[in-house]
């Protein structure tokens, strides 16, 4: 998710809060933001911590890092050794400069965004800063230590291993994070609200990413998904169902768009493609209707381009 989604005002005392506190057996910390249902993520092992898309507000950065650095730790706090930025949308970059000394990992295409793209992304972040009072925290383009292509592996702490997979679709620069020991996929902006895919790039590429995740879910024991926004998916079946629902919705939109007469007026085409998504889901998109409309536009644009 980048822009255009709903935001809620901060509710002191309740936000941000720990969704997953991290335990000896499951050292994964998830902090829920007051904005965009954002999830900040930390993982500890031994004396080290890895953070993923660290948080929108100073309070979230503090809570996630403090919890991951100090939970069940006798003596000196753990150090934030690695920082993974899944993609170059401003909500995922925010706070990246708050941990000097951490090695910063990012997909190569995200790290090498040209200057004009960087300006656009940071400007979108500044618009969020003005809209959400009291939030968010520092936003600057990160200095990336480790650019990766298709895959990368990070070993840290007491033999913890984490895999980074480049998976464009949500954007052209998105990646996801696989935690083998936790059987957990940190899915960035995939599966943020199953049934309303958050496509901010090409719909066909988003569908390809979902297909790849589905294939991975058949090979690997993905028992939990932590998206960057929204609720966690628990259990292999829930993960599979979420992927199939998103794929089904995009497929229904595409089938509808392909079946339209080329002369169909644009407004009617849009309405019918959105209706196809509603019919497949069995419900409207509710607060996410703007994203539903946006998905329809992207699908229609692709189908029209394929006819030209």
Tokens of 184: 């957990």
- State the nearest-atom distance from the C-beta of 229 to Fe ion, in Å: 6
What span, in angstroms and rounded, lies between the C-alpha atoms of 187 and 238? Answer: 14
Stretch touching Fe ion by CB under 5 A, among 44-52, 83-91, 130-138, 151-159: 83-91
Tokens of 136: 């968010």
- State the nearest-atom distance from the C-beta of 73 to Fe ion, in Å: 30
- State the nearest-atom distance from the C-beta of 92 to Fe ion, in Å: 6
- State the nearest-atom distance from the C-beta of 155 to Fe ion, in Å: 27
What span, in angstroms and rounded, lies between the C-alpha atoms of 227 and 123? Answer: 24
Q: Which is nearer to Fe ion, 60 or 91 (CB)?
A: 91
What span, in angstroms and rounded, lies between the C-alpha atoms of 31 and 293? Answer: 30
Query: Counting contacts by CB under 5 A, is residue 1 touching Fe ion?
Result: yes
Stretch touching Fe ion by CB under 5 A, among 3-11, 22-30, 75-83, 187-195: 187-195
Query: Counting contacts by CB under 5 A, is residue 189 touching Fe ion?
Result: yes
Query: Counting contacts by CB under 5 A, is residue 89 touching Fe ion?
Result: yes
Contact string (CB under 5 A) for Fe ion, positions 209-248, x = contact: -------------------x--------------------
Query: CA dihedral in degrees (77, 84, 61, 181; nearest 10)?
Result: -60
Q: Please give the residue ranges that form the binding site for Fe ion (CB under 5 A).
A: 1-2, 89, 91, 189, 228
């Amino acid at each position: 998710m980048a822009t255009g989604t709903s935001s809620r005002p901060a509710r002191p005392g309740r936000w941000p809060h720990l969704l997953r506190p991290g335990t000896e057996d499951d050292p994964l910390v998830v902090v829920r933001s007051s904005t965009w249902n954002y999830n900040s993520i930390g993982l500890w092992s031994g004396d080290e911590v890895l953070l993923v898309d660290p948080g929108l507000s100073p309070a979230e950065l503090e809570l996630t890092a403090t919890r991951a650095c100090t939970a069940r730790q006798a003596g000196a706090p753990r150090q934030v050794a690695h920082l993974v930025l899944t993609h170059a949308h401003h909500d995922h970059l925010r706070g990246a400069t708050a941990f000097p000394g951490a090695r910063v990992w990012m997909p190569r295409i995200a790290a090498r965004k040209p200057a004009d793209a960087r300006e656009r992304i940071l400007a979108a972040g500044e618009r969020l800063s003005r809209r959400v009072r009291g939030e968010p925290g520092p936003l600057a383009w990160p200095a990336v230590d480790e650019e990766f292509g298709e895959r990368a592996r990070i070993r840290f702490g007491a033999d913890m291993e984490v895999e980074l997979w480049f998976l464009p679709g949500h954007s052209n620069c998105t990646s996801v994070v696989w935690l083998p020991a936790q059987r957990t996929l940190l899915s960035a902006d995939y599966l943020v609200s199953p049934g309303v895919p958050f496509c901010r790039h090409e719909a066909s590429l988003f569908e390809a990413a979902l297909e790849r995740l589905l294939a991975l879910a058949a090979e690997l024991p993905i028992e939990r998904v932590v998206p960057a926004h929204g609720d966690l998916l628990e259990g292999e079946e829930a993960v599979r169902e979420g992927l199939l629902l998103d794929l089904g919705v995009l497929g229904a939109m595409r089938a509808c768009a392909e079946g339209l007469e080329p002369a169909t007026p644009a407004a009617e085409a849009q309405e019918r493609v959105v209706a196809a998504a509603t019919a497949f889901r069995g419900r409207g998109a509710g607060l996410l209707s703007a994203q539903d409309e946006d998905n329809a536009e992207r699908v229609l644009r692709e189908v029209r381009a394929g006819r030209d």
